[in-house]
Amino acid sequence: IDRVNANPISMAPQTGGKKNLPITQIFMDDEEDPEAQAISEKPHLVIIGNGWGGIGVLKELEHGDYKVTVISPANHTLFTPLLPSAAVGTVEIRSLVESLRKLVARVRGHYISGAAADIDLSNRLIEVHSKRPDGSVDQFYVPYDKVVIAVGANTASHGVPGLEHCFQLKTVGDVLRIRRSIMQNLEAAALPTTSDQERKRLLSFVICGGGPTGIEMAAEIFDVLNEEVGKYFPKLLRKEISVHVIQSRDHILNTFSEKISEYAEKKFAKDEINVVLNARVSRVEKDKILYTLKTEKGDKTEHVIPAGFMLWSTGLGMNPFAKRVCEQLPNQFHSKAIIVDSHMRVKGAPQGTVYAIGDNATVDNNLLDALLDLVDDCDRDQDGRIDFEEFEIMSQKLRHRFPLAKSHLQKIKNIFQRYDKDKDNVLDLNELASLFSEISSKIVSLPATAQVASQEGKYLGKKLSKLASARERLSGTEIVNQAGDLDDEIVSVPFSYRHLGSLAYIGNSAVFDFGSPELSFAGGLISLYLWRSIYWSEQVSNRTRALVMIDWIKRGIWGRDLSKDR
């Protein structure tokens, strides 16, 4: 392949790569700038995605390790945990974003505004599509020596028709649209010409999905209606306002412990937030949502909620670029994410060149390894067999390491039921072996959270940095391979996730699940301040930290901004 020297602004169209697109050389030799010249000789590291994973990598890199290019459609990074607060004006969205160009400048890297559309693994090229202000799209290749895929996940549609009528909550644009819609609904409901029926519909807020995002959004909407509407919209009656959560499982916040889920349900019942459990949304229309409930006899009944606002937040689906990567590799069978090994290397891709982290990646074998460790810890009888009940008790320990272990353990139990146990209730090792291979193919090992993406990103950033300095130190020795690179194992141990707990805001109160009942708690003003201080300390920069603090103070003194045109 001829790699042409072309900066991103004036690309010389050239053939090359499989699609006859120009190949851009982003870093140029600059004889007047020795530092830039030194960097231009380094391997090219491309980070695709500007979220928790991508930024985690970027923040750990040392200046001069690589030529670094970040590709993403948005030129900022976003603090997602506070998006529900921003959507109702408790904090400003501008306080949650930090410029990507500023973060990239630290390592003298480049940023390309565009989306990765495809990858050519054998020629090491990323196909990028970049939209210009006039709507035209530039298409070109960016070459890489190493690439980190951190494009996150899409919202799962579950095949439900009519989702175009629902809001989503993922981007700055989503936040602005939601905020405008809530205020427009309140103003329209307060008009003297609005009928009673229409007013009730406009004031009906429906959240589909009872996970942390859905629950926090319901709690924030309730806060606005409760705290601001009574004061500033005297025409609107509390009894005309309704907030609904439609959840497919038998509890909300079902990745938290049962006690915490129940606490949140009681709090919502007290606040008169309508929680509908075991319900499946079947269709969404412009002004209503339809769902089915299963009766005890197993029959299905259909229900309708007229709605002025609908949010869809029901789990994750695969990002199209991540899907393209998987389609090119034979052993990528997962339906939602790219399978990586415990060094975050994409399984099946050329060794040491392609990594994936965050919501678009799933680490293979982590749970399986944990189960194998656990079997080692179990007592055995003289025939090497393990007591089934002891194994079940021991497996409860996995809950701490794997926050989703509740559903994992249920799956393990279901699989257990199908294996023959003899009258002493023991499993032999052959049965365990086939049990584990079944588990390993079924279980997604880590949850899709900022905590996981950030830890994976930091781990990978540190490792890439170590690889860069080891490569220089050991060049000329046999440890460095023909491609001038080293194996990851030489500089780093495998990634291991440290679960620091889960938290969620439930309306002037918060819940914390730190993995064991003694450490978990819910409710009270202290929990609210703890929730705030954790998110405050996790901000990406001191600038956003200061802005978020100012927003909380402003809201405490003057309330939220209720303007609808923003």
**Which residues of this chain interact with ligand FAD, rule CB under 6 A?**
48-54, 71-74, 80-81, 83-84, 115-116, 150-152, 169-170, 212-213, 319, 321, 358-360, 448-451, 453
**Strand pairing category for 309-312 and 279-285:** unpaired
CA-based nearest residue to 519, from 368, 399, 358, 366: 399
Q: Shortest gap between Cβ of 192 and ligand FAD (angstroms)?
A: 36
Between 51 and 308, CB nearer to ligand FAD:
51
CA-based nearest residue to 8, from 23, 28, 26: 26
CA distances from 174 to 51, 87, 93, 316, 506 (A): 16, 8, 11, 17, 21
Between 321 and 402, CB nearer to ligand FAD:
321
Between 69 and 72, CB nearer to ligand FAD:
72
Q: Shortest gap between Cβ of 103 and ligand FAD (angstroms)?
A: 13
- Sign of the dihedral defined by the CA atoms of residues 425, 428, 430, 432, in that order: positive
CB 425 within 8 A of CB 388: yes
Question: In the structure encoding, which two tokens stand for residue 562, read together?
Answer: 């209720």
Q: Shortest gap between Cβ of 171 and ligand FAD (angstroms)?
A: 7
Between 84 and 385, CB nearer to ligand FAD:
84
Between CA 317 and CA 566 the distance in angstroms is 31
Between 309 and 391, CB nearer to ligand FAD:
309
Exposed/middle/buried for residue 384 (C-beta within 10 Å: 0-12, 13-18, 19+) = exposed
Between 14 and 72, CB nearer to ligand FAD:
72
Which residue of the chain is nearest ligand FAD when measured via CB?
51
Q: Shortest gap between Cβ of 339 and ligand FAD (angstroms)?
A: 15
Q: Shortest gap between Cβ of 116 and ligand FAD (angstroms)?
A: 4
CB 254 within 8 A of CB 210: yes
Q: Shortest gap between Cβ of 357 and ligand FAD (angstroms)?
A: 7
Which residues lie below 8 Å from residue 154, measured CB to CB, with a gap of 6+? 316, 317, 318, 319, 320
DSSP H stretches of helix in 108-232: 172-189, 196-202, 212-224, 230-232
Q: Shortest gap between Cβ of 461 and ligand FAD (angstroms)?
A: 13
Q: Which residues pair with 380 in a beta bridge?
A: 386
Between 170 and 564, CB nearer to ligand FAD:
170
